A and B are shown apart, each in its own frame.
Chain A
Amino acid sequence: MKQLARFLFFTLLLPLITGASTYAELEERVVEHELENGMRFLIFERHDAPLVSMVISVKAGAANEVTNKTGVAHFLEHLAFKGTKNLGTTDYDAEKDALAELDKTFEAWFQASQAGAESAVLDRLYADFIEKQDEAFSYIVEGEIGKLYEGNGGTSVNAATSYDYTTYQVTLPSNRFKLWCAVESDRMANPVFRELYRERNVILEERRKGTDNSPTGLFWEEFNCAAYKAHPYGRPIIGHYSDMENLSRETVRDFYETFYVPQHMTAGIAGDVNAEEIIPLLDAYFGRIQTKPDPPEIITTEPEQPGIRRVEVKLAKTPITVVKFLTVPRAHPDEIPLDLLATILGGGQTSRLHRALVEKRKLATYVSAYHPTRRHGGYFQVYARPVEGVTPGELEVAVLEELRKIKDNPVNTSELEAARARIQIGIFDAFSNNLRLARNLALADQQPDGWRNTFRRLEQASLITPDDLTDVAGRYLDFDKRTVGLMEVTDD
């Protein structure tokens, strides 16, 4: 330690003078703009390269789905790339009728198959369906949105669905900003969910890839499901297989009509644009999204967990131990102390759990702790991988022993300082890349505490004392209310 001090002292004699921004300056640079229909925009100008990244976040996700229809938020996200009344079609008026016919033939086939009709009947109905589908396909301009973006140098053309949000992103050469306005405002306002039946096969392949054909994926689905009794956070975002197989155009449309409302949309725009110049474009293009009523709120709340829940899955050769405690939603006063606690206990190789379980006791090859918060609830989670010869169950016991020590051995100020330093660099990191910044701004805007709070986190963290951490550890890391996931090694 002495050596280190001398070393640091020596090097600190050479201070580097820099002119970089402070938080306040960065915050100042964000331009906020809201349309009459309630859609919001956060713009951050940066003229380093002739590029601009845009991310639209819609406050609608898998948590808004209902029984029998899981996976619809993610399916809608896929279908949003199939075009609009304008894009992706050669003649929407004719296509519209063809789609209506198509749905009828599908419904007829589906009903007959549910009712156990004879195979000859089913074959005939299926042939009708295929015929109508081919007819509908005859109006399609395949992949037009993707082609428009990528043909114009778009990169990172993608979308993602989480429990609380669906995001749509692209990076474009900055002189093509208007293209984004035209495409996105059109698909937010006039989407047509064409190619639905075959896209359903694609999401089923996606589910197979991530879950049904992947022991680790299946393990996480089991574990997540066990952690919730009532709340939709316990369901897979991609959906249950049986539900996905049956998602209909009507279901997708209802979800879109209900939840894709402009007052629940925020776009983050970061890069080589001029806010003053683009605001009239935003007004004109996105202003055409019609006002809709506020969507229903999620009613179900997760009741307090009355006991220990565990899943033990024996499917692979890589053992895993996970321990989860449900905590607080985003912007709750205990959020930041819990974040800091997670960093100190399990963020990196200086963390307490790493030192104890990997270095000292040699029971784990890896351990980490984290505290993600969602709109309706967060969780504190410890993830660890046992070394050969240690079972996941034994590692669970050791994890708990180490967590328990926080009571007798409270967090010290230097640990707290280090955790704060990570928050500090994290805020700057969030600004370092246009796409990331656009996403962060869009998502932050939809948090209960608003986007500006992103900049307050360090300030808030600086008010937290070691006692606060002991306090949240005592209240939330209640071993009698934990959920445990153990991936055990297969026998053969």
Chain B
Amino acid sequence: MIKKVSITFFLTLLTLSAGKVKLEDPREMDFSDDTPFIPQEVEQETLSNGITVFLAENHELPLVDVFIAVRAGEVRVPAAEAGFAEILAYIIVEGGSNKIKTRAFRDSLENLGATFRAEPGSKYTDFSLHILSKHLPALLPLAVEAIRFPGLPQEQLEINKKQYLSSYQGRNNDPYSVASRIYWKLIYGRDSPAAREVTPSSLNKITEESLGDFHSANYRPSHVIVGVSGDFRKAEILELLETCLGNWEEPSVNPDPELDMITETAEPGIYLVNWPGAVQTNIWMGYLSFKRDDERYPNALLFTEIYGASRFSRMRLVVREKHGLAYSPYGWVSGGLTVPGTFSTVVGTKSSTTLKALNLLNVIIEDLRTQGVTEEDLTIAKESWLSAFPAHYSQTTKVIKDRMLYYRYSYPVNFWDMLPEKIKPLTQADMGGFASGFLEPSQLRILVVGDTSSFDGSIAEFGAFKVLDPSEY
């Protein structure tokens, strides 16, 4: 809680008090009655074939969410075949199983108001089923069937390919999309499973058959984690899961190897995409950070609050509020789960303030690097982070997803719950040390997408730059 010197208006507030309630100045309120928050307990079970299951019941609403994570992401797919794992994921939720195919499959889900979704990530593909609890016995087996024995209908594959083709064609539609696309390629490499995209030529390589092979090798019980939250009973759900997943046997074929997430990193420097006619310049800049198990991660969380992600951050108060240069300037230091995360900054400013914004960002970073954080910075960042801790677990589904996330990468499942105790003792000196050690302006890869003819000066004033052609990225 921030304490400010109260002002005369506070007195006016007092005189306005009505009934028994005394009106208080919000800056003077005392909330020391915070009690330690313990998130809802999640039970961890194992099916007979070794699949781990996380369970959290909540009977308020007649809804159930089932999450099935499969370690079969794009990271197992060579760059030339990009899209394989993603398309497989979509075709599973859209095309059904080999018993119950497309039409009947979708009818049975949508007719009951259910949603079955796939979120393909680089490492894992996450499936989720959201249904009324009374439909669990009917729909869970249906969804699992699709994951285990996908129908892979040719027609659905064609549809998915067309959808990818259409988004590929639109990849250079506007400066923002171009900046966000190219930035990750500069940081993680053009071929990185985290940055590359599906291309017409990689689409050509995807067939029913090759999808089937990929599925057989990589969709296997040892790659699966299950989570269930909502309105169910433990004994019954375990029985149901055992029936539909417990008999899944590990195949004899080896899974495809996981490739490197970072393939190459561009040299530090300025990368320019000239976009005639753009009225706003997109600036993306940053470099690789570290993994989440790095001891600096707690510092990074507080630094992110102070630097660029909160309403009291430098990005917000200086770039946006003080200088009115951008609508949603944003910056963060993330910790990657399996590979380093990034220190990143994203700003969109009108063409005629491009250099002004770049200079300002430079000043902000340099100031933090050399001066560290202020006492006020540290106090508010800590209070903010610590008191917002329960919001990380605001719903049962969030608790389940958190547990599944850390479990899958072999972190302690309560990784997040241990953070408050690591953040509390951080001092100004700790933060200053972090900033001076971690911030390296010379390491920045600065991507600028805008109409150079309308800039407030030549980008060359800012340093040597390389011009990029978005069609080559």
Instruction: State in angstroms the CA–CA spacing of A425 and B138 once bound together.
Output: 16
The size bracket of the interface on A is: 35 or more
A6 to chain B, nearest CB (A): 10
Known: A316-B170, A318-B169, A349-B110. A51 touches B391 (CB 8 A): yes
Check B1 against A350 for contact (C-beta < 8 Å).
no
B24 an interface residue at 8 Å Cβ cutoff? Answer: yes
Check B394 against A318 for contact (C-beta < 8 Å).
no
Known: A20-B61, A425-B113. A146 touches B21 (CB 8 A): no
Instruction: State in angstroms the CA–CA spacing of A151 and B132 once bound together.
Output: 38
Check A284 against B26 for contact (C-beta < 8 Å).
no
Cross-chain contact of B63 among A16, A216, A283, A428 (Cβ < 8 A)? A428
Instruction: State in angstroms the CA–CA spacing of A113 and B320 once bound together.
Output: 26
Annotate B303-319 by CB proximity to A: 1 below 8 A, 0 otherwise. 00000001110001100
A212 an interface residue at 8 Å Cβ cutoff? Answer: yes
Stretch touching chain A among B33-41, B213-221, B402-410, B426-434:
B33-41
Q: Across the two chains, which residue of chain A brings its CB closest to B153?
A: A359
Stretch touching chain B among A99-107, A172-180, A302-310:
A172-180
Check B310 against A150 for contact (C-beta < 8 Å).
yes
Instruction: State in angstroms the CA–CA spacing of A431 and B62 once bound together.
Output: 11
Annotate A69-101 by CB proximity to B: 1 below 8 A, 0 otherwise. 000000000000100011101111100000000
A46 an interface residue at 8 Å Cβ cutoff? Answer: yes
Complex interface residues of chain A between 6 and 47 (CB less than 8 A to chain B): 7-8, 11-21, 26, 46
B80 an interface residue at 8 Å Cβ cutoff? Answer: no
A50 an interface residue at 8 Å Cβ cutoff? Answer: yes
Residue numbers in A under 8 Å from B437 (CB-CB): none
Check A209 against B280 for contact (C-beta < 8 Å).
yes
Annotate B376-402 by CB proximity to A: 1 below 8 A, 0 otherwise. 000010011011111101111000000
Known: A20-B61, A288-B16, A425-B63. A4 touches B108 (CB 8 A): yes
Check A7 against B99 for contact (C-beta < 8 Å).
yes
Interface centre among B94, B130, B231, B388, by most chain A C-beta atoms within 10 angstroms, is B388
Check B387 against A365 for contact (C-beta < 8 Å).
no
Check B324 against A202 for contact (C-beta < 8 Å).
yes
Cross-chain contact of B321 among A50, A186, A198, A208 (Cβ < 8 A)? A198
Instruction: State in angstroms the CA–CA spacing of A118 and B137 once bound together.
Output: 79
Cross-chain contact of A209 among B60, B237, B328, B380 (Cβ < 8 A)? B328
Cross-chain contact of A143 among B136, B173, B316 (Cβ < 8 A)? B316
Instruction: State in angstroms the CA–CA spacing of A458 and B200 once bound together.
Output: 45
A325 to chain B, nearest CB (A): 24
Instruction: State in angstroms the CA–CA spacing of A91 and B24 once bound together.
Output: 18
Check B111 against A425 for contact (C-beta < 8 Å).
no
Check B59 against A15 for contact (C-beta < 8 Å).
no
Annotate B153-179 by CB proximity to A: 1 below 8 A, 0 otherwise. 001001100110111011111111000
Check B174 against A86 for contact (C-beta < 8 Å).
no
Residue numbers in B under 8 Å from A212 (CB-CB): 279-280
Known: A202-B320, A205-B325, A284-B19. A143 touches B231 (CB 8 A): no
B294 to chain A, nearest CB (A): 25
Write 7 A-B pairs (CB below 8 A) sorted by A numbering. Answer: A18-B231, A152-B387, A201-B325, A203-B327, A206-B328, A212-B280, A284-B23
Query: What would 11 more interface pairs be, CB under 8 Å, given A19-B231, A359-B102, A428-B61?
Result: A93-B8, A151-B1, A152-B31, A202-B321, A204-B350, A205-B324, A213-B348, A316-B173, A317-B172, A422-B113, A429-B63
Q: Which residues of B contact A (CB under 8 A)?
A: 1-2, 4, 7-10, 13, 16-27, 29, 31, 33-35, 37, 39-40, 58-63, 94, 99-100, 102-104, 106-108, 110-114, 130-134, 136-138, 141-142, 155, 158-159, 162-163, 165-167, 169-176, 231-233, 236-237, 239-240, 278-280, 310-312, 316-317, 320-328, 348-350, 380, 383-384, 386-391, 393-396
